Chain A
């Protein structure tokens, strides 16, 4: 079993770029795909990145994903921040058929 650790919160100004990390506790981050979900207050989650760096149809190209084996982590980068990006973001990966979520990161755009 492994855990995915995310910062509890991040904040940045509109128009800037922010990166949210997701560190895998054991095993290689490259072993299983990582997804990123956005959850706005009072709403269900939606997918913003799948399979490490793929964007679903309709998701802005301001969202990008990557993995870094040296730090054993995945990252979600949001450029040109907008107030509508303010939400909770969760990373997710796989563990022998089970799914593992990170604890979530609250993004504040101020």
Chain B
């Protein structure tokens, strides 16, 4: 069955960096776009970024553009989110999600999330 497992979350000071990983199984990773979506404590879902199946297209939310980078390694069935210049308002649970298509569709399957806390 489809599985997405996020890792790499933790407590980090403002201004520092963190890299999240999402390892997947149960589907053809190299044919699927992938998303990162976050949820601040007690708040709603906020879409963060998407990467196309081959990594050629990437889109970001305005709130993270220029600070976060999404990437993928199709040989490792893993998608990454490099987060730089972290701010207190980046504190959230970060979910990775499989796109229904090549990267232009909707979030079909979700992982269980990894928590990120930005605090001094």
Contact = CB atoms under 8 A, between A and B. Distances in A.
A47 interface: yes
A98 B61 contact: yes
Interface in B64-120: 95, 100, 104, 106-108, 110-113
Contacts, number: 57
B45 A45 contact: yes
Interface residues of A, number: 22
Interface of A: 33, 35, 37, 39, 44-47, 50-51, 56, 88, 90, 92, 97-104
Q: How large is the interface on B (under 10, 10 to 19, 20 to 34, 35 or more residues)?
A: 20 to 34
A94 to B, nearest CB: 8
Contacts of A101: 37, 44-47
Interface of B: 35, 37, 44-47, 50, 57, 59-61, 95, 100, 104, 106-108, 110-113
Contacts of A97: 50, 57, 59, 104
A68 B106 CA distance: 20
Given A45-B45, A90-B44, A101-B45, 14 more contacts: A35-B107, A39-B45, A44-B95, A44-B110, A46-B110, A47-B107, A51-B106, A88-B44, A92-B47, A97-B57, A98-B59, A100-B47, A101-B46, A104-B44
